Structure 1
Amino acid sequence: MTHTFRPRIAASIAAVAVLGLLAGCTGGTAEETTEQTVTFWTPQATPERLAAQEDIAAAFTEETGIEVEVVAMAGADQDQALVTGAASGDVPDVILHASTQTGAWTSQGLLDTEAAAAVVDTLGQETFNEHAIEAVTLDDQISAVPSDGWTHVIAYRTDLLEQAGVEVPTSVTELAEVATTIKSELGITGLAFGTQAGTASATEGIQSIFQAAGCDLVVDGEVTIDSAECTEAAELFLTLRNSSVAGDFDVTSARAAYMNGDAAMLLFSTHILDELAGLDEATPATCAECVDSPTFLADNTQFVTVLDEENPAQYGAILSYGIPTGANVEGAQQYIEYVMSNGYVDTLGVATEGRIPLRNGMADNPTEFIDAWGALGIGPAHERTSVDLYGEEFVGGMAEGINAVYLWGMGTDDATLAGLVASQGVLAGQIEQLYNGAAAEDVTSAMKAAVEEVQASL
């Protein structure tokens, strides 16, 4: 039986939008615990998502007596605010943040890693996504508690692949062949994805395709973006880029091409799930068939969630809960344990299509949370579930995808370098050489030199 997300309770807590946060103290007795306040920073800041998180916090307060101040704060603002707060001894108690921040904050001594590791131990490390645990483990120490994330998927039109006479691709090599054939046979874009040189869209597109093809940016401190695997990945990336009939795409135009029926495949995040079904008024489906059938795209779309099943490395994002050094440890741990157990399904429902569980289930029910995720409503109004739209098998495919989530340098000393390369768009700044006819090996050599320049600055 499926259901849509409904807040546990109607009460809400006003968001605190100032940095003068209540300094935490470690509680001792149960009576002291009820007087604690937990300050929670979240990057999930749209009004509806903030309201949903406030409802979850209110449910926690009702259960424990611990008040929660929910503070909306973008990831870029979290970085500076945490450093400033740490200097003054005034820090939040829990921060929902990206995996790249986990590594940076841990290296700066800003996270209480022992407190976070204790939460994972209490919940059961074996119940978590293995790759997610790797992402937050630095120097053999778990530094944060993985919560949820998203991955890139290949959305493909089943009807158009059939018209072109091609099979569903199972590798980057096959993806490039299929995309090229579709352009030749149907005269439309084979694969729409971010390729505009120098943009964030291209940064994601490069990393997604390169790592799915077996390319590593850096291994044990050695920059390897010029390896044979990476050079082949560059050649495949160019083939995929050239499968477009409309030039280079950014994220918005790539999505629009697929939504308009002008592309047979789309490389995109799982946030596309509700949009394909016409559930997001801000991003309507515009294909000719969609006028009479609003769910035409969803009805004719399936997904490749893992491109290489033997060595899966799906580009994506991991959100984790961190406990800052100097926080109210007891209150923070109780709050994280709650939102990862009793409040977990409601937490995932804050933005279902972009918050796939990184804790798959409980010890006695290993798939409890991923199964519940499939029954949550998607889109702004949570009107329909992904199972309603894409079928029961879809949830299993999404579980395989999120269990294969990977980012270059993840869980290693190379994470800082990889994060800087991504944030500075280093590879996207080099890719235009490939478009202009430079040999793939020359381009990856130039990429290596650019990455080593960043490395030298660390």
Structure 2
Amino acid sequence: MTQRFRPRLAASIAAVAAVTLLAGCTGGQAEEQAADQSVTFWTPQTTPERLAAQEAVAAAFTAETGIDVEVVPMAGADQDQALVTGAASGNVPDVILHTSTQAGAWTSQGLLDTAAASAVVATLGQETFNERAIDAVTLDGEIAAVPSDGWTHVIAYRADLLEEAGVDVPTSLSELADAAATVKDTLGITGMAFGTQAGTASATEGIQSLFQSAGCELVVDGEVLIDSAECTDAAEEFLTLRNSSVAGDFDVTSARAAYMNGDAAMLLFSTHILDELAGLDSATPPTCSECAATPTFLADHTQFITVLDEDNPAQFGAMLSYGIPTGANVEAAQKYIEYAMSTGYVDTLGVATEGRIPLRNGTADDPTEFLSAWGGLGIGPGQKMTSVELYGEDFSTAIEEGINAVSLWGMGTDDATLAGLVSSQGVLAGQIEQLYSGTSAADVTAAMRAAVEEVQAGL
């Protein structure tokens, strides 16, 4: 890792030598050949340590292939405008790490070379990928991008507190709501902490996460279904869960703080919580009364629900994929993605292990190679311990079940655009205050439907 910049230097020297040997060629030919040996890669993983890790993977690729890689940190929100502008001027990157929502939008605009991405998946073996991840990036029958990694929502729970309250581990949304209410009534602490503040992004995630785990669909084949019986039942359970708080409504930060302080028995959060529970992130240390003497107290007493309802496995999460823009240096881009998804894959996942669960499970020879390797990677900023060391051997299997159940409303269908707008605009979270104010769940989901249809009418 400490030598990650040497291959770039070697590549630069080689490039200079090549120019000397080709002195008789025209300037245009030399520039074309140089371009063929380079890749510009946009990544939303922008923190210094994550950027350094990605540059190390890129440097190893350069050392192996002679193809130089420029790693450009760029937040997802900035990628959209930059790609449109670049496409208009004919200056696009060669590879972009992006979300499944972006894949749909960019494909509809003709900004992604879907044939190039499909070829990479075929080369690596489509059967080696997470099936739902492939579905998420399959548009009009063609794979638009190469699934890389993602994170899921999990329900972290204090096994000791659930036992003290006399409740079993929930296996459905209704059981979860009952358990949270019982904890509050029995122990006088919050049953489940999660984002419930009306109109916020955390409430948007909470609604989708919990509603879809009860079989609620937002829209199917253009028909808005958020007022279905399943969704109305989910809204009632959502209210019970929200009312299990003894501290009012939470946003994502305060929900985490409640669990970290020992004031909540359960927490709905992303897999990014894994290192924090063990005291491995100094920026977010555990603050429970027992944690001062035993920093791993919460990790020692926490277990996880990675799929709430096994009969309806639908976990909220996010997926990142590699896209090749239209007009990119296709051959070099394909080589880089193939490397990042094979030889360099484990190192790529290690960029931020707790938030980068593999979407390529393994290889044809070893179908679970990458999932197994993930459990042995260090988590947290210092990567001092692995998730298996903290949470046991069965944890990797549970995470595999969770990531294989990742689902987003509209994912991989023509409804993805509407679902994406409803999410980004916080449409459902804007309606949830009515539920808190005593309006019936049926009336609230009817209002949600009207709000969604208003967005739909504007498409």
The aligned amino acid for 1:280 is D
Instruction: Verify: 1:308 aligned to 2:309, yes or no.
Output: yes
Question: What pairs with 1:283-294 in structure 2 (closer than 5 Å)?
Answer: 283-294=284-295
Consecutive aligned runs of 4 or more in structure 1 exceeding 4 Å deviation: 31-35
- Measured on the aligned residues, the alpha-carbon RMSD in Å equals 1.4
Write the letter of the residue equivalent to 1:241. Answer: R
In the alignment, which residue of structure 1 is the partner of 2:255?
254
Name the amino acid aligned to 1:262: D
Structure 2 counterpart SS, 1:427: coil
Gaps of 5+ in 1: 1-6, 15-27
**Structure 2 counterpart of 1:81, which letter?**
A
Alignment correspondent of 1:3: none
- The residue number in structure 2 matching 1:328 is 329
> What's the counterpart of residue 409 of structure 2?
408
Matched residue, 1:17: none
Aligned residues of 1:8 and 1:346 also touching (Cα < 8 A): no
The structure number with the bigger radius of gyration is 2
SS of the aligned residue for 2:92 comes to coil
Alignment partners' CA distance in 1, 2:172 and 2:351? 33
> What amino acid maps onto 2:278 in structure 1?
A
Deviation per residue, 1:296-343 (Å, 9 max, x gap): 000000000001112200000000000000000000000000000000
Work out whether residues 358 and 374 of structure 2, in 8 Å CA contact, stay in contact via their aligned partners in 1. yes
- Residues 220-240 of structure 1 show CA distances to partners (whole Å, capped at 9, x for unaligned) of 001000000000000000000
State the partner residue of 2:166: 165
Q: Which residue does the alignment assign to 2:123?
A: 122
* Preserved contact between residue 9 and residue 59 of structure 1 (Cα < 8 Å): no
Change (3 A) 1:236 1:146: same
SS at match of 1:80: helix
Distance 2:401 2:291 in 1: 30
**1:10 and 2:11 are equivalent in the alignment:** no
C-alpha distance in structure 1 between counterparts of 2:277 and 2:110, whole Å: 43
Cα shift at 1:379: 0.2
Judge conservation of contact 1:261–1:288 (CA < 8 Å) in 2: yes
2:37 pairs with 1:36: yes
Number of corresponding residues: 437
Counterpart mapping for 1:117-196 below 5 A: 117-196=118-197
Residue aligning to 2:22: none
Q: Is the 8 A contact 1:33 1:331 kept in 2?
A: no
Alpha-carbon distance in 2 for matches of 1:204, 1:376: 27
What does residue 229 of structure 1 align with? 230
Partners of 1:308 and 1:364 in 2: how far apart? 31
Aligned to 2:358: 357
8 Å CA contact 2:190, 2:247 repeated in 1: yes
How far residue 36 of structure 1 moved from its aligned partner, in angstroms, is: 1.3
- Cα distance in 2 for residues equivalent to 1:291 and 1:102: 45
d(CA) in 2 for partners of 1:11, 1:166: 55
Alignment of 1:205-244 (within 5 A): 205-244=206-245
Distance in 1 separating the partners of 2:76 and 2:444: 32
1:78 is aligned to 79
Q: SS in structure 2 opposite 1:406?
A: coil
C-alpha separation between the residues in 1 aligned to 2:305 and 2:2?
34
CA distance in 1, matches of 2:114, 2:2: 31
Contact 1:302 1:390 (C-alpha < 8 Å) held by counterparts: yes
Asked whether 1:446 is paired with 2:447, we answer yes
Partners of 1:169 and 1:85 lie apart in 2 by: 49
SS at match of 2:316: strand
Question: 1:112, CA displacement in angstroms?
Answer: 0.2
Residues 35, 65 of structure 1: 8 Å contact kept: no
> How far apart, CA to CA, are the structure 1 residues paired with 2:452 and 2:43?
31
Equivalent-residue separation in structure 2 for 1:34 and 1:85 (angstroms): 17
Preserved contact between residue 183 and residue 245 of structure 1 (Cα < 8 Å): yes
TM-score normalised to structure 1 length: 0.94
* Amino-acid identity (%): 80
Q: Where does structure 2 lack aligned partners over 5 or more consecutive residues?
A: 10-28
Distance 1:364 1:34, change over 3 A: farther
Q: Secondary structure, in 3 states, of the residue corresponding to 1:155?
A: strand
Tell me the distance in 2 between the aligned counterparts of 1:174 and 1:32. 62
Distance 1:175 1:343 in 2: 40
